[in-house]
Amino acid sequence: KYKTTNLKRYNEALKSRGALMIWLDRNLQWSGLASGKRGRPSLFSDAAIQFCLTIKGLFGLALRQAMGMVESLLKLAGLSWTVPDYSTVCRRQKTLQVRIPYRPAAHGLHLLVDSTGLKMMGEGEWKRKKHGAEYRRQWRKLHIGIDAQTMEIRAIEVTPNSVGDAPVLPSLLGQIDPNEALLSVSGDGAYDTKACHEAIALRQAQAIIPVRKNARKPWKENRPGASARNEILRATQRLGRAIWKRWSGYHRRSLVEAKMRCVKLLG
């Protein structure tokens, strides 16, 4: 069992979780540029609107309170930028194209994939339990792939709730730059399909996917990825699932589950 040996460092690590640091680049293009279309250009760039919405989602604020917080942050940073009105942010968020930069993996990418359900319409749990549901709830499924080193989201896909995990994996891998080295792809047993192993093999990556519990026979090695999957099956049958998971590094897939919680906290 794990035992804390340095209580001072452990205490400092717990305190640092509540630390707040917001870095603002003075070279950020805050004002809008001419788009080449008819009409007056926008006063604020998409980056400015995205920053305001990020603060709103991060701290769970209403639009008016979020604009007040952005104004105070700019004042603390010594920047004389004009803060957009809350109605402007509300109107611009409908057509905003969100751009999330990422850092390419220096020594190869270890991709962790998972999915979760998101309720997009429906009453709260208390109201549904107390008074019953008045209309049917609607769900969407969020599929993400993150970098195991930096915890950055590298691939994302939103599908209806009826779509499974395995059919979306090739689309997630397609969002990774072909020129970037993809070392491994880790997922749960839902990705143990021929299409998933073939997509991973075509990217010349290692599949860290446990075989299904009812798997007994190896696949015919007439498709890419079948031999790698058969090696996992033989190792699991010889060593056991628990030893194979520790040996292959499968347990770091829990990082993507922690990332899912961060995404849900943003609302």
CB 158 within 8 A of CB 140: yes
What pLDDT is attached to residue 130? 73
Q: pLDDT tens across 40-78, in order?
A: 888 899 899 999 998 998 888 999 999 999 999 999 989
What is the chain's Cα-based Rg? 23
Average per-residue pLDDT for the chain: 87
Q: How far apart are CA 98 and CA 100, in angstroms?
A: 6
- Does the structure show a pLDDT above 80 at 16? yes
Window from 4-8, 89-93, 176-180, 200-204 with minimum mean pLDDT = 4-8
What pLDDT is attached to residue 38? 81
What pLDDT is attached to residue 121? 65
Q: pLDDT tens across 216-246, in order?
A: 899 998 888 999 999 999 999 999 999 999 9
- Does the structure show a pLDDT above 80 at 123? no
CB 155 within 8 A of CB 172: yes
What sign does the dihedral 173-174-176-181 (CA atoms) show? Answer: positive
109-266: CATH, from 3.30.70, 3.90.1420, 3.30.420, 3.10.20: 3.30.420
- Residue of 158, 232, 246 lying closest to 189 (CA atoms): 232
Which regions of the chain carry the CATH code 3.30.420?
A: 109-266
Give residue 242's identity as a one-letter amino acid code.
Answer: A
- Does the structure show a pLDDT above 70 at 135? no
Over range 114-132, report the average pLDDT.
74
Q: pLDDT tens across 243-252, in order?
A: 999 999 999 9
What pLDDT is attached to residue 17? 79
Question: Does residue 166 sit in helix, strand or coil?
Answer: helix
